[in-house]
Amino acid sequence: MSKKKVLVGLSGGVDSSVSALLLKEQGYEVHALFMKNWDDDDGSPYCSAKEDFMDAVFISEQLNIPLEQVSFSKEYKENVFTYFLEELEAGRTPNPDILCNKEIKFKEFYKYAMRYEYDYIATGHYVQTDNISLYKGIDSSKDQSYFLHAIDKEVLAHTLFPLGKLEKDEVREIARDNKLITSEKKDSTGICFIGERPFPEFISNYLAGEEGNIINEQNDVIGRHAGLVFYTLGQRQGLGIGGVKGASDLPWYVAKKDLQTNELTCVQGNNHPLLFSQELTTRNQFLLVDSLPQKFEGTAKVRYRQKDQECEIHILDNRLNIKFASPQRSVTPGQSVVIYKDNKCLGGGEINTIN
């Protein structure tokens, strides 16, 4: 019987390196693909694409597996980045990494693999699957199901996640034991195309922010903002508010963005009531299961690092309504809410309205 062929997304990091190693040890015929999704930054000090590709080359040589490089930058610009900018202009705060997974890493990558008759694709994400359902990774601090809730069920059925049952420390140890050059490489952080650079610096290259007033909850003008596109709900840094007459020394936070008046409402204190909401409705719906009750108890999270929050989940026509057991801080339109039943990821949607 011939070996099953798997195409691994090799990013040049330790996670994908160990994934390729483990799949080879498990008897698969392993090939690797380095995806280049952003072409504008080859000379930028913030971009690590060249270094990452060279690390991928070294890993493929160490493991003796074929490596290809393919650019999906055209598809990325059309299906991820354009949407990202449109959402910012609409006053929302999108999560491009979720869309990148849906449209590029688990769509274009999958289509490429199927075109060349691979049996599976594989990535270094910390999640588990039985090829039918998606489950959280064993390492709760690294679980990435939040980012994968919107991928297509057909793709999930043909995807392998070798790291789902491993802790991050174990992955590092496997890399060291096998002398992989990526064993001590730092994990990448930040939005994929922005990297470590300041967000306003990057966005100002594409969107012109219109200056406006910063107001407090009494509608008093307390400062000026550089443009609503540069701010998100719950933000504390970069507000430039200081010396407000009659105000306390508590830090200021963004509580509301009003596109009609071009005003940014800020409040003082991490626990200010205007920073909290208890209910949300999404503008769309991505489900990883074939059927769900119209109403049931489960858990949800509105950001990646958040602990699961108890809630009542309502399945509407192409939307979700989530009623939390306790108020949630800085629930942000444009971000994603992801729903769970125990360890199983059921899907999610982009947050539209909050109450």
Span 78-130, pLDDT tens digits: 999 999 999 999 999 999 999 999 999 999 999 999 999 999 999 999 999 99
In this structure, the answer to whether residues 10 and 33 fall within a common structural domain is: yes
Tell which of 134, 156, 177 closes a domain.
Answer: 177
Is 217 found in the same domain as 340?
Answer: no
Give the CATH number for residue 315. Answer: 2.40.30.10
Cα gap 336→107, rounded to integer Å: 19
User: How many CB atoms within 10 Å of residue 348?
Assistant: 28
User: Contact, 122 vs 159, CB < 8 A?
Assistant: yes
Looking at 220, 245, 270, the residue that finishes a domain is 270
> Tell me: the pLDDT tens digits for 167-192?
999 999 999 999 999 999 998 766 66
Q: Is the pLDDT of residue 43 over 60?
A: no
pTM of the predicted protein model: 0.94
33 near 7, Cβ under 8 Å? yes
Q: Is 100 a catalytic residue?
A: yes
Residue carrying the six token digits 């840094």: 237
The verdict on 61 and 158 lying in the same domain is: yes
Nearest in space to 258 (alpha carbons), one of 225, 228, 235? 228
Same structural domain for residues 120 and 166? yes
Is 222 in the same domain as 344?
no
**Residues 47, 100, 266, 311: which is the catalytic one?**
100
Report the chain's C-alpha Rg in angstroms.
22
**276, 327 Cβ separation under 8 angstroms:** yes
Domain of 218, in residue numbers: 209-270
State whether 137 and 233 are in the same domain. no
Phi/psi of residue 338, each to 5°?
A: -120, 135
Q: Are 306 and 339 in contact (CB under 8 A)?
A: no
Tell me, yes or no, if 345 is annotated catalytic. no
Q: Give the separation between CA 333 and CA 256, rounded to whole angstroms.
A: 11
pLDDT digits (tens, 9 = 90+) for 287-323: 999 999 999 999 999 999 999 999 999 999 999 999 9
